[in-house]
Structure 1
Amino acid sequence: MADAGYQRIATEEAFAPPELMALWRNMLETGTDLDPGFVSLVGFYARHGSERARAVSERLQDLGERRLADMDAAGIGRQIVSLTAPGTQVLDADQAVPMATLANDRLAEACRRHPDRLTGLTAIAPQDPAAAAEEIARGAGLGFKGVIINSHTHGEYLDNQKFWPILEAAEALDTPIYLHPTAPPRTMIEPLVEAGLDGAIYGFAVETGMHLLRMITAGVFDRFPRLRVVVGHLGEALPFWLYRLDYMHAASVRSGRYEAMRPIARTPSEYLRENVWVTTSGMAWPPAIMFCREVLGGDRVLYAMDYPYQYVPDEVSVQDDLPLDETAKKAFFQTNAERVFGL
């Protein structure tokens, strides 16, 4: 696998410092009225006794030899590493800001130890937008190549103008935002969690796709036209809705049905093709990958694994066998990521 003619750069790969895992466990043990999405997601990976929960938890906390060995076994040359969901965003601001700093310091140390294998994204605490903007600048100084935001923060989204200092900082530094899923907020999770559908099987995509769509329809990309956003799981289903998004958005604006649905400069599909990149994390399915390449453009689709949540080395081979010529395959695995993340 090492002789493929391209480097496999995996672009949505997670970690969690032990200090954050310990804080999460303490919240689960002592907290009251906890967010149900946090309880479902972190409660499983931090406390459940299953083999899957233990393996994921251990791998999340390893930024050294075990991670590198897993990469070697799967033929992965480099990981773009980011703080796992829900990151700091389930915390209060007074805990979230220093925890983001700690997480970034831990990740920066690992990237310095393994500069040819690991590249970091900056974790922030959106609860304090000014501090988050400063941390984005500090992360750039640490050598990080983007910003990780694990979707909503206490049920609030980046279309809310109070978060726009974060977007302004990312645009000014020309650093992409990776918009990663987390469990849906309490206002939408109940029918999902009661059916076991709140996580990666479906709820993540519903919540994060909605987040990105809110940003588009609220005019975020009109205000920040150079803002770049990367989303996983082949765009959280939005590429498959392009036609209907454009049609129904235009119809809603014409009708004046919603106060929030105002005219924007372009169609939703145009923003998705011009401001957004998608990765294949957890979606090693050639028909879907090829469809996204067709409707978004080959330069908009990047390889990702979703380590350690979906560590399946055979899925790498599936994507090695995509019906692409060698130039397109190298772009898919390597040069698209190099361009987007400035590697």
Structure 2
Amino acid sequence: MEGDSAPAAGLEDRPYRRIATEEAWAPPELFAEYRRILDSGEADVGFASLMGYFLTSSHPQPRTVVERLTSLGPDRLAAMDATGIARQVIAMTAPGTQVLDPDTATAMARLANDRLAEAVRDHPDRYTGLASVGLEDAGTAVEELDRAVNQLGLRGLMVNSHVKGQYLDHPRFRPILEKVADLGVPLYLHPQTLPGPVVGPWQEAGLDGAIWGFAAETGLHLLRIITSGTLDRVPGLRVVVGHLGEGLPYFAHRIDHMHAKQVASGRYEAIRPLEQRPSEYLRTHVWLTTSGMPATLPILFAREVVGRDRVMYAMDYPYQYEAAEVAEQDALPIPDEEKAAFFQGIAEEVFGIG
């Protein structure tokens, strides 16, 4: 097996397999398309901020990230071995297909799904793949998702948040969500940069990316899915979200309180009665991963809010690749059987890993 680096000190084998559940990848063709968009001078300001940094900066940090993103071979496996990661759940990096024109997005998703599925076949004990689709054409998206899951063996759908400023609670995306539910696989809702019309104040303060803007944007997206009643209309939909829920667990009580007031007052047409309180959907339809959020106290808090069976490990490779963060989560003060579920069992159940 390729990738034989010894794990760092303190990351020796445990009585569980560490499954990292939000690990990024991109085919080189996707970056070539991103560069074409950047060179056109017509790129959305948020996209230009995000991918302009990673694809044009001479700093070694973004250059290393881009190099690691395109590898599905020995380099990735060696990085996993060095941090004690037994398996990665791999999906297309943000912003994925969602900045491409519909035809290009569909073609890119098909190429990416084929290539990722090939890597999974080559390393079935190390990789699990999530599908990509071109989201603007729901019919084509449904067809490609069916192919990716039923023919290629991919185990979920990655959506890199908004689709050119539109969110998954919009009725145009419902056939895709219904297909995800029908297939019995999860939707992974992952951040990307805020839409161009609203990114300005974040960007001028240097807060538009992972430092805070990603969480604010994706937390909004998940909350829209909840408060719009989408999970009542598609009750079989299972949603995975990283970064410990993008801040929503911390605000759960306030969201419930204010939602009830808005329903009672009829202030907003968009806010209608739901079958549950908003926070309860975090315990019935949503799973959280710890990607980029390795600190002990926030993890323990999130587990109490959403349920100990709904928080699982992730690294956020290659954006946040730190051996010390794996060790900190190995040391979580929770019972051994819960730690085994946190690192392995929950991911196996949610992503159908046999």
TM-score, scaled relative to structure 1: 0.99
Q: Which amino acid aligns with 1:322?
A: L
Residue 85 of structure 1 is matched in structure 2 by: 94
Q: Which residue does the alignment assign to 1:303? A: 313
Q: 1:52 matched to which residue of 2?
A: 61
Task: Indicate the residue corresponding to 1:184 in structure 2.
Answer: 194
DSSP 3-state at the match of 1:123: coil
Q: Secondary structure at the match of 1:164?
A: helix
Match of 2:243 in 1: 233
Q: Distance in 1 between matches of 2:184 and 2:158?
A: 14
- 2:314 and 2:260 map into 1 onto residues whose CA distance is 33
What SS is found at the alignment partner of 1:119?
Answer: strand
Residue 2 of structure 1 and its aligned partner are, at CA, apart by 4.1
**Match in the other structure for 2:332:** 322
Partners of 2:33 and 2:248 lie apart in 1 by 34
The answer to whether 1:204 aligns with 2:214 is yes
Partner of 1:109: 118
Task: Within 5 Å, give how 1:70-219 maps onto structure 2.
Answer: 70-140=79-149, 141-219=151-229
| Separation of aligned partners in 2, 1:212 and 1:303 | 20
SS of the residue corresponding to residue 175 of structure 1 reads coil
Deviation at 1:146, TM superposition (A): 0.7
Distance in 2 (alpha carbons) for counterparts of 1:18 and 1:245? 41
Cα distance in 2 between the residues matched to 1:48 and 1:128: 33
Percent identity, please: 57
Root mean square deviation of aligned Cα: 0.7
Q: Which moved more, 1:74-83 or 1:102-111?
A: 102-111
In structure 1, give the amino acid aligned to 2:75.
Answer: R
Mind listing any 5+ residue stretches in structure 1 that lack a counterpart? none
**Alignment pair present for 1:338 and 2:344:** no
Residue 129 of structure 1: how far off its partner (Å):
1.1
Question: Structure 2 regions of 5+ residues with no counterpart?
Answer: 1-10
8 Å contact 2:135–2:173 — kept in the other structure?
yes
4+ long deviations beyond 3 Å: none
Deviations 1:98-131 (A, max 9, x none): 0110111111111111111011000111111111
Alignment-mate amino acid for residue 132 of structure 2: A
Q: 1:2 to 1:145 in 2, by over 3 A?
A: farther
Match of 1:248 in 2: 258
Matching residue's letter, 2:305: V
Which amino acid letter does the alignment assign opposite residue 98 of structure 1? Answer: A
One-letter amino acid of the counterpart of residue 201, structure 1: I
Q: What amino acid does structure 2 have at the position aligned with 1:66?
A: D
CA distance in 2, matches of 1:104, 1:154: 22
Moved more, 40-49 or 174-183: 40-49
User: 2:7 matched to which residue of 1?
Assistant: none
Tell me, what secondary structure is at the counterpart of 1:299? coil
Q: Contact 2:288–2:311 (CA<8 Å) still a contact in 1?
A: yes
Cα displacement string for residues 235-280 of structure 1 (whole angstroms, at most 9, x for unaligned residues): 0000001100100001011111111111111110111110000000
1:9 aligns with 2:9: no
Q: Distance in 2 between matches of 1:221 and 1:18?
A: 35
Measured in 2, the distance between the counterparts of 1:174 and 1:227 equals 8
Q: Distance in 2 between matches of 1:119 and 1:231?
A: 17
SS state of the match for residue 324, structure 1? coil
Q: Which residue of 1 aligns with 2:42?
A: 33
Q: Describe the SS at the equivalent of 1:178.
A: strand
CA contact (8 A) 2:54 2:62 kept: yes
Q: Contact 2:13–2:84 at 8 Å: present in 1 too?
A: no
Distance (whole Å) between structure 1 residues aligned to residue 136 and residue 14 of structure 2: 44
